[in-house]
Structure formats: C-alpha cells, structure tokens
Amino acid sequence: MDNQTTEKEKDPMGRAIFDYHTYGKAAKLRVLSSMFYEDEIPVHTLFRTFEEMPILEKEAIELCRGKVLDVGAGSGCHSKVLMERGLEVVAIDISRLSVEVMKERGIDARAINFFDERFTDKFDTILLAMNGIGIVGKVESLPDFFRSAKRLLAPGGQILFDSSDIKYIFMDDDGSMQIDLAGGYYGEVDYRMRYKDTTGEPFDWLYIDFETLAFYAEEHGFKCEKCMDGEHYDYLARIVQAVPRTENDKTTLQRSKEAFTK
C-alpha cells in the first residue's frame, strides 16, 4: 500500500480536497458530533474566491500584512488571495493530502502542526480563518496556543481569526440559558468527519466568546480587540502582544483571574 493510499484512508477532509482539486468534484463531506445533528461541508466552498468569502474573512484578508502564516489552510483559498495581493505566505496543515494539493496550486505549504515547537519561523501575521482558533480544542489548552504564538510572531506581529459565541444553541425562547455550569466550557465541541468510506478520528474543536478570549489573552501577555461583529454571534478578533506588565498590573490581573474563575 503506497503512502498516498494510507493518507486517504485516515483523512476525510484531505481526501475530499484532493478529489475536488483532481477531478473537479467531490462527494459529501459529512460532519458528525454528539452535540448536533449531522451536517455537511460543501467541498467546493473550500476553494472559494475572495468574492465568495463571508464578510469576516474578507476583512481578515484586508488586515493581513507582512509575512503571513495561514494556519489550517486546507485547500489554500486564503493563501491564494494573499499571494495575489503580493504578500509572502506560508500555509500549514496537518493533512498531508491538503498540503499536496496546495503545493500543486503554487503555495508554499508545509505539513506542520501549529503547536510543534520545532517550527520556529517568524511571521508578521498569523491567520486562522474559518474559526481556526478551533484547533485549540479546549479552553484549558489556550496557554499552549499563546506560547506557540509568541514563538512564531515577529516583533509587532498580529493574530487574526474569526470565531463564534455558540451560547445561542443553549438559549430558550425566553432568553434564559440551559448550560451546565458544572461541566466544561460550553464552546467545546467534539467532531468527527466522514468522506465516502473514510471516517476520521474524533477531535475537539473550540468556539470561544470574545470576553473569555480577551481574558485569557491578557493573562498570557496579549491584547485582544474585536475588529468586527458578524451576522450571527460571530466576530473577527485581532490579537497583539501587550506591553510588559508592572508588578501592580500583575497583582490586578491575578485578582481579576480569581474573580473570573469563582
């Protein structure tokens, strides 16, 4: 069995991207979760042009500058647009099939995990489009995300990504919330993808509200700003490294953390 066949057997999204790129069509890419009904990602949308992108993605593209790291790049649709605008782009994805497709599309693509400490290049912009912050999986893993960001950001660099506050899923008609406060953070979702006869391994995916994001960003030496609200509980955020804190700042932050976690 060759390496390509092996990759296809364990990578539903990569296989879907590979098929659409190679044959101009693909079967249904199904999304499974214990929290939701089965959903589907139309594979052709993974190859969208700038004009076909939602408003938050367009704004993120406009804000990109310098050398850009496109994280979880998939087919490379955002990388292509940025390259056409004259920016230097490196696209990374854990799917080797997706990376193969991106290379064929003329993109500097690498099969690298964002959290891999051996990856030490420096970038002016880190882009995580399509709720790319989801790769964090769980709120408790945000410190790992910010450590990786510090490793990869050039001085004065920025992180851009969109996410959603999915509390609306738990909202009753009267506006009250049905959330188990004793459980984990409500934006932590389990997913599994299926394409043809290939079913991938389950993985955790994070949707995070802006206030929680801003709190953790500040705790780890970053400043977070909301660039734009979307049409349905989604938003675009920009994160930059903050000015180093004084001892008084650290004391205030520790008190805020204690109040936040009570």
Q: Which residues of the chain have pLDDT under 70?
A: 1-9, 172-183, 244-262
CA 177, distance to chain mean position in Å, is 26
Tokens coding 233: 């509980």
> pLDDT value at position 147?
97
Can you give the pLDDT at residue 184? 82
User: Tell me, what's the pLDDT at 243?
Assistant: 75
Q: Which two tokens stand for residue 91?
A: 């696209």
- Domains in the chain: ranges and CATH: 3-261 (3.40.50.150)
pLDDT tens digit sequence for 146-158: 999 999 999 999 9
pTM here? Answer: 0.88
pLDDT digit string (tens) for 123-174? 999 999 999 999 999 999 999 999 999 999 999 999 999 999 998 887 766 6
* Amino acid, single-letter form, for residue 51: E
Please give the pLDDT value at position 254.
Answer: 62
pLDDT confidence of residue 36: 87
List pLDDT tens digits, range 99-108.
999 999 999 9
